[in-house]
Amino acid sequence: MKFQDLLAYQKSFSLAMKIFEITKLFPKEEMYSLTDQIRRCSRSVPANISESYRKRVYPKNFHSKLTDSDAENSEIQVWLEFSFKCNYITESVYNELLNESNEVGKLINYMILNPQKFGVAL
């Protein structure tokens, strides 16, 4: 199996792409702050999932990369809240993206709690 086959990777990559498209509409003055922050952390989630999968022969590294991914996913939620409160996204977009982020978080936590199902020897 390739890391691209992991459901957590697929859903987090999809979320990152949605965030990328939505942030194209953010004000130009946010380019080097909110826009940059939310894009960076959203891209970091699938990147860390891919790294964790490649490092699955080292259980501690697998766990570490997944917890990094989970932390970045939480950061997405903070920036989404700022985006909503600054009126850059609607409440429905906010809720949709927040729900997707929560789903990604559950998938990451499933991987953390069930490493053996992903080829990690305990």
Q: Examine residue 69 and state whether it is found in any structural domain, yes or no.
A: yes
Q: How many domains does the chain have?
A: 1
pLDDT at 61: 97
Choose among 47, 50, 24, 51: nearest CA to 35. 24
pLDDT tens digit sequence for 101-111: 999 999 999 99
pLDDT at 1: 86
CATH at 70 = 1.20.1440.60
pLDDT at 121: 86
Range of the domain at 97: 3-115
Query: In angstroms, what is the C-alpha Rg of the chain?
Result: 15
Q: Examine residue 103 and state whether it is found in any structural domain, yes or no.
A: yes
In this predicted structure, the answer to whether residue 31 has a pLDDT above a threshold of 90 is yes
Indicate the Cα dihedral angle 2, 62, 106, 92, nearest 10°.
-70
The whole-model pTM stands at 0.96
- Cβ proximity of 39 and 20 under 8 Å: yes
The mean per-residue pLDDT over the stretch 20-39 comes to: 97
Cα 41 from Cα 75, distance rounded (Å): 7
pLDDT at 84: 98
Q: Examine residue 122 and state whether it is found in any structural domain, yes or no.
A: no
The mean per-residue pLDDT over the stretch 2-31 comes to: 97
Instruction: Give the amino acid at 109.
Output: N
In this predicted structure, the answer to whether residue 122 has a pLDDT above a threshold of 80 is no
pLDDT tens digit sequence for 50-92: 999 999 999 999 999 999 999 999 999 999 999 999 999 999 9
